[in-house]
Structure 1
Amino acid sequence: MAATLFPDLVINDETIPHSVVAAEAQNHSAPRGKPGLAWRAAANAIAVRTLLLQDARRRTLTPEPQQVAPGKFETDEEALIRQVLEEAVQVTPPGEDELRAEWEKNPDRFRSPPLWEVSHILCGCDPRDEDARVKAEQRAIALAKLAIDTPRGFAALAAQESDCDSKKSGGTLGQLGPGDTVPEFEEAVRRLDEGEITAEPVLSRHGYHIIRLDAVARGQVLPYSAVRQKISDAIERAAWVRASRDYVQKLVAAAEISGADLKAG
């Protein structure tokens, strides 16, 4: 991507080097042959970051990096952006009436986690090995057809064919809750009705699964007192996002910007 094809990015008389925009552009996708889309997205992102850092300097903030992971800390720029947002964006916590009204809209949204009783047949393979994956898939398709044609024989089929230790118990995995299995497996379980077997094998990092949902216990509706804090946090997060967008738009409106289209539309 030739930098000379694109205009200079200037934010309030601060010129951003083309190399900085080019590096950021690597984080933005664009259709083949249209590098300008990635460049413009990068220019917009850097323009916002620059405006925030300029405001941090106006407020004479000193970076105080926080730990974001074991042994990993924010950069000075990341710390300044967090600090300026903390100082500039304030939201009022929702009141009790607002919280209860949100819960009463649809209490069914707030349930304890479901429990599933699940059995499966595993045709094990390393999905990265194409030959092994194809062989496992063909075997799994044949076993899935057998399982669906003779559902009462699922346990015997699992005991004979499964590559999982659960074959010793006819493929039964016992009770599972959200997060207990790999995401692909859980997603398939959530789509099944009680007693249903997956029509097509489900691929995970362990191989192909033929899954049967033996029973399901849907979570119970939780009382208001149990979900009050969760509702409050969600409303406050949404309010903070709106307020931060408004704050950035005020910075944009007051700024002299060229080489980015933050004011478009």
Structure 2
Amino acid sequence: MIIVNNVEITEPAILAEMQYHKAESQRDAMIKASEALIIAELVKARAAELGIVIKDDASEAQALEQLLDADVPMPLASEEDCRRYYEANLEKFQSTPLLAVRHILLAADPEDDDARIKAADQAIVLLAKLNADIGQFDALAAEFSGCPSAKLGGNLGQLTKGQTVPEFERQLFNLSLGLAKRPIESRYGLHLVLVEHRVEGRQLPFNAVEQRIADYLNEKVRRKSIAQYVETLISQAKIEGFDFSVSDSPLMQ
């Protein structure tokens, strides 16, 4: 049993709340559920203290949003704040490079160690052939690639970021022109990659990204303000039967 400012949070209520909180163990789920119910009660009590009427069908998040709007001033990022962030993070505000790519996919399930070893051995042989004569790429792709692009000489067309799986993309966009010295691994297998053309990204001007930066900074401030606000409600409350220090998770998800 948990008591929050003389209001009881019962075990049945906690058990009912647990279904909404994924956790590695029942104990962790119970902690998260208890935490959520305590915060909900604190929000409800503070709203009543301020004379704010929370709708009966409002979710916990909606109730908190309503209370925050009334009780917490939220500073907004100024143009100077945004420009300062832009200047400190220029690399984040560039258009993505454009690559013309061909590949040979040596298909292998990531869970199949034997298939991965076989693909790695085959990659060594094929790379040696390609280094000796890159003109063989089309023929080798047609013979060995497990990708539909095999019929097109392994041609993947022009790629920008976000068009391929992350583990492939992270390595692909770091490649220079020509044949990659090593295969790239992905969930699909091993890729022998040939970059035929590369257009580097360009720096985006501040006015093109100012709103995006403002949204990011405002959301960052809002999340910090929410956490601090909830911590204040907790510190000012009388809570029996629960210790917030037992939870390593953030107060607000």
**Fold in common (TM above 0.5):** yes
- RMSD after superposition: 3.2
Name the structure 2 match of 1:141.
Answer: 120
Q: Runs of 5+ in structure 2 lacking a partner?
A: 247-253
**1:54 alignment partner, SS class:** helix
Post-superposition shift, 1:112?
1.1
Q: Which aligned pairs between 1:1-265 and structure 2 lie closer than 5 A?
A: 8-22=1-15, 24=18, 27-29=22-24, 39-58=30-49, 59-63=51-55, 76-124=59-107, 127=109, 133=112, 136-151=115-130, 152=134, 153-195=136-178, 197=180, 199=182, 202-204=185-187, 207-214=188-195, 215-262=197-244
**Amino acid paired to 2:72:** V
> Take 1:80 and 1:183, find their aligned partners in 2: how far apart are those partners?
37
Q: Deviations over 1:57-82 (max 9, x none)?
A: 444333387xxxxxxxxx64343233
Post-superposition shift, 1:199?
3.7
Q: Percent identity?
A: 28
> Take 1:252 and 1:76, find their aligned partners in 2: how far apart are those partners?
20
Give the conservation status (yes or no) of the 8 Å contact 1:120–1:209: no
**Amino acid paired to 2:45:** Q
Q: Give the TM-score, by structure 1 length.
A: 0.73
Give the conservation status (yes or no) of the 8 Å contact 1:10–1:16: yes
> Take 1:111 and 1:197, find their aligned partners in 2: how far apart are those partners?
24
**2:157 alignment partner, SS class:** strand
Q: Give the TM-score, by structure 2 length.
A: 0.76
Give the conservation status (yes or no) of the 8 Å contact 2:104–2:191: yes
Q: Runs of 5+ in structure 1 lacking a partner?
A: 1-7, 66-74
